[in-house]
Structure 1
Amino acid sequence: MEEVNTLKATYEYDNKFDIMDIGAEGEFKYKKTIEIDNSVYIDFDENNVPFALEMFNASRIFNIRKQDLHNPKHIDMNITIKDGIIYLKITYIYETHNASVIEEVDKKVINDYNISDMETVLVTS
């Protein structure tokens, strides 16, 4: 597998609709969106680099309160494509009651999109 492509990312959360958006900084030419499940979508550019994620029902998926999705301390979003599978792992860290809490979401889908094996990480600061 090639080396890991690490991209700095921005984060937004819509409390009213419970939607999490994570997007790489910079310019990307959109090519396609891949549905990981009925609530999670990843956008890929023309070079098949994943550069954005949209997650509906984020509080339910992470099993945390909506208010805890407003100010994350740190987020890592890892997309690995290997052996015909697209793997998504999101690590979400937030503060509550003066303590750091780590929540993770792991999802996968069959790579029916002919995307070559690769790994990309989007990281918030």
Structure 2
Amino acid sequence: MHEIRLNEIYDPFDMTHMTMSGEFEYKQTIEIDKGIYVDFDVNDAPVSIEMIMASKHFGLLSRNFENAKKEGKIMITHESIRFEMHVHFMKRLISIDREISNDFGIESGQYSFSNY
């Protein structure tokens, strides 16, 4: 499994943008669910995650989401793309799990990510 350390930018409009450190060549953006987008590079590796109304996906207040530790996995097969994200807040683990059909030709792979 490839591990990716993401740099997070959170804005006051409850949008979070986590981007891989370093340079990459952008290929495409895939909408995983309403308000959840993953960018892939030319090697079909996920390089960026953007969440609109991020705190709402986890049932948290925006200020609590902003300061929480976040981690997850992106698992890609020829059939599907699965996105899991976990937020650690006050000794609680809050998770989302979404899966879509891989109609984009993204190569198989498993990636873990975190903002810490």
Same fold, judged at TM 0.5 (above): yes
What percent identity do the matched residue pairs reach?
28
Q: How many residues align?
A: 116
Give the letter aligned to residue 7 of structure 1.
I
Which has the greater radius of gyration? 1
Contact kept in structure 1, 2:78 and 2:107, CA below 8 Å: no
* 1:117 maps to 2:108: yes
Q: 9, 14, 21: which is aligned to 1:18? A: 14
Q: What is the SS of the residue equivalent to 1:60?
A: helix
Alignment of 1:1-125 (within 5 A): 4-15=1-12, 17-72=13-68, 74-95=69-90, 100-125=91-116
Contact kept in structure 1, 2:78 and 2:106, CA below 8 Å: no
Between 20-29 and 41-50, report the one with greater CA deviation.
20-29
Looking at structure 1, the residues matched to 9 and 22 of structure 2 have their Cα atoms a distance apart, in angstroms, of 16
| TM-score, length basis structure 1 | 0.86
Q: What is the SS of the residue equivalent to 1:11?
A: strand
Contact kept in structure 1, 2:31 and 2:38, CA below 8 Å: yes
Displacement of 1:83 = 4.8
CA root-mean-square deviation: 1.3
Unaligned 5+ runs, structure 1: none
| TM-score, length basis structure 2 | 0.92
Unaligned 5+ runs, structure 2: none
Runs of 4+ in 1 over 2 A off after TM superposition: none
Looking at structure 2, the residues matched to 122 and 46 of structure 1 have their Cα atoms a distance apart, in angstroms, of 19
